[in-house]
Amino acid sequence: MRYQLSYKQFGERSILIEWPALIDEKLLHDVLYFKQKIEKHYRDSTVHITHAYSSILVNYEYLNFKFKAESEVLHSIYLTKSSRTKMTRTLWRIPVCYDQTFGADLQELSQEKKFTIQELIDRHVNVVYTVYFIGFLPGFLYLGGLDKSLFMPRKGTPRMEIEKGAVAIGGEQTGIYPLRSPGGWYIIGNSPVNFFDVSKEQPCFAKPGDKLLFVPVSLKQYHNIKTLVDAGVYQLESEVFRD
């Protein structure tokens, strides 16, 4: 499927390519496919490409590029059929401890939603999430798939500090804070896994298009895993899959 795309000049050296503003997996695959083709085309030059749910930003290292000419080049790349490099996609099983030691907002959220805490956790766990992109903080995964019954507007006043690993719900999204940071989301648990490792060539294990499952673990299991993670020997459970 081809989408109606728009090309906008964004500052002096960038082009913003926009799809219809949707969070949709088919659309994500079109974005990733186009991104792959642009990367191939500009392989040897200095162009930086980032994407989000329904947009790609192409940032040229040279100033005063010709917007019209460059966007025509980009659109012709979009229209070319090139054999798609097979992307292996991975399903990651992420251990999360939903104990109230970590889930500082479980109580409040359960009262707000009129679910028991267990029901709330079940609704968070019984979904396969899709990784759309990484943004906001180094290693912060933008996930799609949160159960509609868990949508919750952000807090009026954000917390000054949210712990590393905090699993939280904000608006129509859920996510894991990869680093300690301020934030306005509702915290429901914590994952002992590292989502960003500065020492690695690929600092994030997950990539756009991957899938993610939250697996509830007890406080004791959490600490066991944490010990292994800190020692650098923890093996995250995962499986490679094809569409």
Angle at 226 between CA 221 and CA 229, to 5 degrees: 130
Q: How many residues does the chain have?
A: 243
Segments in 80-199 forming alpha helices (H): 106-113, 117-125
Q: Kindly tell me which of 118 and 182 has the beta carbon lying closer to other proteins.
A: 182
* Closer residue to other proteins (CB): 58 or 106: 58
CB of 153 to other proteins, least distance (A): 11
Q: Does the protein bind other proteins through residue 216 (CB under 8 A)?
A: no
Phi, psi of 101, rounded to the nearest 5 degrees:
-55, -35
Nearer to other proteins, 50 or 221 (CB): 50
Q: Is 144 in the site for other proteins (CB under 8 A)?
A: no
Burial 25-50 (b: 16+ CB within 10 A, else e): eebbbbbbebbebbeebbeeeebeee
Q: How many residues sit close enough to other proteins to count as binding (CB under 8 A)?
A: 39
Among 92, 98, 129, 142, binds other proteins (CB under 8 A): 142
Residue 224 is a binding residue for other proteins (CB under 8 A): no
Pick left, alpha or beta for residue 35 (phi over 0 → left; psi -120 to 50 → alpha; otherwise beta): alpha
User: Taking a C-beta distance cutoff of 8 angstroms, is the pair 134, 204 a contact?
Assistant: yes
Nearer to other proteins, 54 or 130 (CB): 54
Largest CA distance in the chain: 60
Give min distance, CB of 184 to other proteins, in A: 12
- Residue 86 in 3-state DSSP? coil
Q: What is the DSSP letter of 62?
A: S
- Write out the binding residues for other proteins, residues 4-63 only, by CB under 8 A: 8-14, 16, 18, 21-23, 48-57, 59, 63
Q: Which of positions 59-118 make contact with other proteins (CB under 8 A)? A: 59, 63, 67
Asked whether position 156 contacts other proteins by CB under 8 A, the answer is no
Residue among 1, 79, 160, 198 that touches other proteins (CB under 8 A): 198
Q: Is-contact 208 89, C-beta < 8 A? A: no
Choice between 145 and 203, CB closer to other proteins:
203
Where along the sequence are the contacts to other proteins (CB under 8 A)? 8-14, 16, 18, 21-23, 48-57, 59, 63, 67, 133-140, 142, 179, 196, 198, 203-204
